[in-house]
Chains A and B, each alone.
Chain A
Amino acid sequence: MGTNRRNFLKLLGTAGFTMAVGKSFGALAKKKSPVEFYGILYDSTLCIGCQACEYACAEEYGLQEPQDEPQIGVVRKTDETRRLVINSYDTSKGEQYIRVACNHCNQPACASACLTKAMLKTEEGPVIWREDKCMGCRYCMISCPFDIPKFEYHSANPKIQKCRMCYERIQDGKIPACVETCSEGALIFGKRSELLEIAKQRIYAEPEKYNHEIYGETEAGGTSVLYLASVPFHELGFNTKIQKTSYPELTKGFLYSVPAIFVLWPALLLGLRQATKDNHIKEIENE
């Protein structure tokens, strides 16, 4: 029965592709079916900071090999030459590593900001950038609360560089390069809901070892990349004050008012124009 319903909604969605009205039905249908995004779970307690993932990522995308190593006191940032970095922090539990890359938000600010849909949240979960659409306005960079998209400022044909969760590999049935290469099991790839379960089980099983929160469970409305660590996340350089609702939500109010104004304003203006038609006579007398 459940599948029947889903099929029906899917049909509606497909039909909607041809009609503007139907399109919003399609969106509704998508929301109703449980979202099964893929994600990555990173367990900082297992990470040994070997940078194997960094090397794998660089090789996969033809970027330069890492030029430096994680070091306490140095915040390495992703940039146009690296999509993934491992950082090291001196925490209340000694030296700990943390991975920094795109979090593949469930409702990404970057994708909702993009005026060409070059930045896209795929149905599988990865947020990908598409070269043939992007106009290089960098509004995605303004909007991303994690400062992830990076821009090639020194190129005449600049690209946006950011992690794409190896979208093409996933489609080929493989797992992301960084996950595949990690020999410590600090990275796992899977359905987001399952990863959440695993993360919770780990916290229950070893409550002493873990800090009792999963970064990414609710941050920015939930992200497809989830993090476990032994210490509170602000000690690892993460922004813990980030809002728990999605960022695109912030522009909803404005965007929703647009059609209303488009209908109301012209009518109002015409009305005013009629109402004030004789005004000028009075005004001239006043002068």
Chain B
Amino acid sequence: MSNTDITLARDNYGSSIWSFLIKEFKPKNKFFTPFNIISIPIMLLGLGIIVIRFWKGIGSVTNLTQEVPWGLWIGFDVVTGVAFAGGAYVITFMVYILNMRNFRSIVRVTVLNGFLAYIFYAGALLLDLGRPWNVINPIIGNGFGTSSVLFLVAWHFLLYILAMLIEFSPVVAEWLGARRARFILSGMTVGAVIFGITLSTLHQSGLGALYLMAKDKIHPLWYSEFIPILFFVSSIFAGLSMVIFEGSISNKVFFRQIDKKNHTQHNTIIHSLSKICAGAMFAYLFLQVLVFVHGKHWDLLNSPMGFWYLTEMIGFVLVPMVLFFLSYRNTNILMIKVAAIITMLGIIINRLNISVIGFKWDAASHYVPSWMEIVVTLAVIFTEIWIFRWIINRMPVLRASPSWVKDKIPDQQ
């Protein structure tokens, strides 16, 4: 360990970096909270199921079939989870590219959320890979499948995780009291943001493009050549709804972390986000209508799947869009939160309609996830929340940066 490390850590806490880290690893809050009591057994159970999965094969814990090879773990964990993580690129776009500075107080928490979502949900992909030891092949070049959309998506996941790591790294440096490192790392933020937004545009739409070749397998009301664009546009309001939702919860749970100024600002932020959500949803709905008219599927509307389609479009896109719009005009924060929750449900429904429900909708037997798939999914989500909480309680994500930091958000150098 070098001398500088010691001094750096002493800057903050007057002890060596190791004892500092050990101290930080100890739990900081009460252990027996309702959340812990629910989540711990599920995480342990999930771990057990994962062991069985690697020991006996994917079929021993999932209900996947030869006709439906992608189920909940891909359709929900990856495809839906990544849409929700879209908030990170939208918020960084607004703050660093459009210079909308009043969103600065939520940049860090959103990036952290996005980063963890990618780590865990893309990580869930490893569980679903039959031969995960070969996962590095497309990276080391044991076959560059450049004609594959999945190749593109895989690379983008990897690069985007790196970009978000760079975006978040100044926070870690502040936590460790590493002043020089923070200075260098924050200089890289804007580059990482620009790179990250580009990557996000491509892989948010890429996730939709994955399904382009499954033309005969997806219900025609959900299949169109425009899936990539629809996925991209919907990731904007999916991500922002998640920001609203997560922000409201964090505001309650971590209220001690948040300084007064940001507390009051939070409602202003939610308020302006609702306008953006309403706009993006309007564009999305407009596109959906165009796609529908273009597809000439009027006859399909009068069928169970048709009703389901209308439910999605009206109940989970049109309604929350109107709610967002109205609550923006009347500054009704509660209604914004309700709209965000409906929107998130709508995104889950939409992604599952393409990847699971509408996939081989006409087959004799349907895929329904097994309870073990659901438990593993929950375990993944809970683990993510644990890590999220651990970081929030230690690093200056919601709370203000240490006093030696001059620019709270690295920018304008």
Query: Which A residues are closer than 8 A to B by beta carbons?
Result: 77, 79-80, 109, 111-118, 132-139, 141-143, 145, 147, 150-158, 239, 241-243, 247-248, 250-251, 253-255, 258, 261-262, 265-266, 269-270, 272-273, 276-280, 283-284, 287
Contact = CB atoms under 8 A, between A and B. Distances in A.
Contacts of A136: 129-132, 134
Interface string B78-121: 00000000000000010011111110000000000000000000
28 contacts: A77-B66, A80-B66, A113-B148, A115-B148, A115-B154, A116-B142, A116-B143, A117-B143, A133-B137, A135-B129, A142-B69, A142-B211, A142-B217, A143-B213, A151-B130, A153-B58, A154-B60, A156-B54, A241-B216, A247-B215, A248-B147, A248-B213, A250-B225, A258-B152, A258-B202, A266-B198, A270-B194, A287-B102
From A77, A156, A239, A266, residue with most partner B Cβ within 10 Å: A156
Given A116-B143, A250-B215, A276-B97, 12 more contacts: A80-B66, A114-B145, A115-B145, A115-B150, A135-B131, A136-B129, A139-B150, A147-B66, A151-B69, A250-B225, A272-B98, A273-B97
A109 B57 CA distance: 26
A57 B128 CA distance: 30
Contact of A134 (B64, B131, B412): B131
Contacts of B62: 153
A115 B135 CA distance: 10
B209 interface: yes
Contacts of B98: 272-273, 276, 279
Nearest to A133: B143
B145 A287 contact: no
A94 B131 CA distance: 45
Contacts of A151: 66, 69, 130
Contacts of A250: 212-213, 215, 225
Top 5 closest pairs, chain A to chain B, by CB:
A136-B130, A153-B59, A117-B143, A136-B131, A115-B151
Contacts, number: 185
B282 to A, nearest CB: 22
Contacts of B190: 273
A190 B133 CA distance: 38
Contact of B70 (A142, A261, A266): A142
Contacts of A239: 216
Contacts of A265: 194, 197-198, 201
A103 B102 CA distance: 58
Given A153-B58, A158-B130, A242 B216 contact: yes
Given A134-B131, A158-B130, A269-B194, A243 B215 contact: yes
B370 interface: no
A147 B362 CA distance: 14
Contacts of B70: 138, 142
Contacts of A150: 66
A105 B206 CA distance: 24
B138 interface: yes
A266 to B, nearest CB: 5
A172 B253 CA distance: 69
From A109, A150, A269, residue with most partner B Cβ within 10 Å: A269
B370 to A, nearest CB: 12
A152 B57 contact: yes
Contacts of B198: 261-262, 265-266, 269
B153 to A, nearest CB: 8
Contacts of A258: 152, 202
